[in-house]
Amino acid sequence: MKPIAMLPNLLTLANGACGLLALSKSIDALAWRDQDQAVFYEKMEAACFLIFLAMLFDGLDGWVARLTRSYSDFGGQLDSLADVVTFGVAPAMIAKAFFEHAETAAGVLASPRLHFAAAGCYSLMAMLRLARFNLELDHDASAHSEFRGLPSPAAAGAVASTVWIHLILSRPELELSEGTPTPLGSVMGWTRGVDWEPLLTWIPVALTLALPLVGLLMVSRVRYVHAASNLTTERSNFFALVTLVFVGLGLYLAPVPLLFVTFNGFVLFGVVRWLWHLARERRAAALDGDAHS
pLDDT in tens, 53-96: 999 999 888 888 878 777 777 888 899 999 999 999 999 999 99
Domain segments of the chain as ranges: 3-292
Whole-number Å distance between alpha carbons of 172 and 21: 24
Q: Give the integer Cα–Cα distance in Å for 100 and 98.
A: 6
Span 107-132, average pLDDT: 86
Q: How confident is the model at residue 109 (pLDDT cuts 50, 70, 90)?
A: very low
pLDDT at 265 over 60: yes
**Beta strands per DSSP E along the chain:** 146-148, 176-177, 180-181, 223-225
Q: Structure pTM?
A: 0.86
- Report the mean per-residue pLDDT for the chain: 83
Q: Which pairs from 263-268 meet CB under 8 Å and 24+ separation?
A: 263/154, 263/157, 263/158, 263/161, 264/158, 264/161, 264/162, 266/154, 266/157, 266/158, 266/224, 266/227, 267/150, 267/154, 267/155, 267/158, 267/214, 267/217
**In contact, 12 and 81? CB cutoff 8 Å:** no
Top mean pLDDT of 100-104, 111-115, 229-233 is at 111-115
Residue 176 in this model has a pLDDT that exceeds 80: no
Task: Give pLDDT, residue 184.
Answer: 67
What pLDDT score was predicted for residue 194? 66
Residue 247 has pLDDT above 70, yes or no: yes
**How far apart (Å, rounded) are the C-alpha atoms in residues 79 and 130?**
10
The share of the chain scoring above pLDDT 90, in percent, equals: 43
CA distance 78 to 93: 22
Does residue 184 or residue 61 have the better pLDDT?
61
Q: Taking 80 as the threshold, does the pLDDT of residue 286 lie above it? A: no
36 compared with 28, residue with greater pLDDT: 28
Angle at 260 between CA 258 and CA 266, to 5 degrees: 95
Tell me what pLDDT residue 76 has.
83
